[in-house]
Amino acid sequence: MSLYLEVKNLSVLYDRAIVLNGLSLHVNSGELVSLVGPNGAGKSTLLNAMSGLIKWQHDTLKGTVSGKITLNGSVKFDGAELINLPAHEIARKGIILCPERGRPFREMTVQENLEVGALFLDKKVADDNLEKVYALFPVLKKRSSQVAGTLSGGERTMLSIGRSLMSEPKILLIDEPSVGLAPLIKDSLFERIRDVQGMGVTILLTEQDVSFAFDLASRNYVISRGKIIAEGTSQELLANELIRETYLGL
């Protein structure tokens, strides 16, 4: 296992509000790492920064109030620096974001959504990947010609993971996969994320549901106010009383 994805001293400021405050973490190849923490701790911002979205917002909103974004630090993948790359190039290196609530292309069908994921692959490879994704998520196959805007929350999350898998990602950044899902759907999604890891994809996911994250991940980070405050396996973190009571609420 090699050091694969490394975030060092990452800071994000929206105007003068500090969202990420010199955050560092790393993910090894093949690992499933979770990042837990309360609302507003900076989880989504971290994933957005890693996927290039923050830089994109900074560049496109330049000159407006919401464009006053400062982004500092380093995000390295396989030794290459990503922090100054545009989002689409980061994506083509194999680091794909599954945003919160899936955010499918709502007016496209499920199948078209999946095809967007494989836009930059050969047709044959794309077809193979489509079969794999349908095998993993049979519900998507059932809904393949349905417009994505009509999907349920769980289906949207699955579609978003499926769409990412279409591009043969190396690392998936999954933002709050379990948010707003019924327990039964949550369980099935849990298994699917396991399956995705089994396919050799490295995963970094954020969660508010600590038990969901801890059961799934081999290693966890606890984030609060834009900083990592604890790191370890689920057992280690649960054994630490202070962390458990203050940050995990268990």
Partner 1 sequence: MFVSILINGLVSGAVYAILAIGFSLIFGVAKIMNMAHTAFYMLTAFLILGAITFLDVPLPLAAIASIIVAGLLGVVCYKLCFDRIKVHETAVMIISVAIAMLFEETILLTFGAQYQRIPPFVEGYFELGGVSILNQHFFTAGASIATLVGVWLLLSKTKLGMSIRAVDQDREIANVMGINVTKTSMQVMGISVILAGVAGAVTAPTIMVNPLMWTNPLVIVLSAVVLGGLGSIKGSAIAAFILGYAETLVVFLVPDGSFLRGAVSLIAMVLVLLIRPEGLFGVAFEEERL
Which residues make up the interface to partner 1 (CB under 8 A)? 51-53, 56-57, 60-64, 67, 86-88, 90-92, 96-97, 99, 103, 105-108, 112, 115-117, 119-120, 149, 163, 167
Q: Which is nearer to partner 1, 114 or 230 (CB)?
A: 114
CB atoms within 10 A of CB 235: 8
Phi, psi of 80 (to 5 degrees): -100, 135
Q: Which is nearer to partner 1, 14 or 56 (CB)?
A: 56
CB of residue 56 vs partner 1: minimum separation in angstroms? 6
The SS3 of residue 104 is coil
Q: Which is nearer to partner 1, 67 or 153 (CB)?
A: 67
In contact, 238 and 214? CB cutoff 8 Å:
yes
- Cα end-to-end distance, the chain, whole Å: 31
CB of residue 119 vs partner 1: minimum separation in angstroms? 6
Q: Beta partners for 76?
A: 6, 81
CB of residue 51 vs partner 1: minimum separation in angstroms? 5
Q: Which is nearer to partner 1, 67 or 232 (CB)?
A: 67
Q: Which is nearer to partner 1, 20 or 237 (CB)?
A: 20
CB atoms within 10 A of CB 210: 21
Angstrom distance (rounded) from CA 164 to CA 232: 27
Angstrom distance (rounded) from CA 53 to CA 195: 27
CB of residue 27 vs partner 1: minimum separation in angstroms? 18
Q: Which is nearer to partner 1, 88 or 142 (CB)?
A: 88
Structure tokens at 131: 């079969």
CA 161 to chain CA centroid, Å, is: 9
CB of residue 230 vs partner 1: minimum separation in angstroms? 29
CB of residue 215 vs partner 1: minimum separation in angstroms? 27
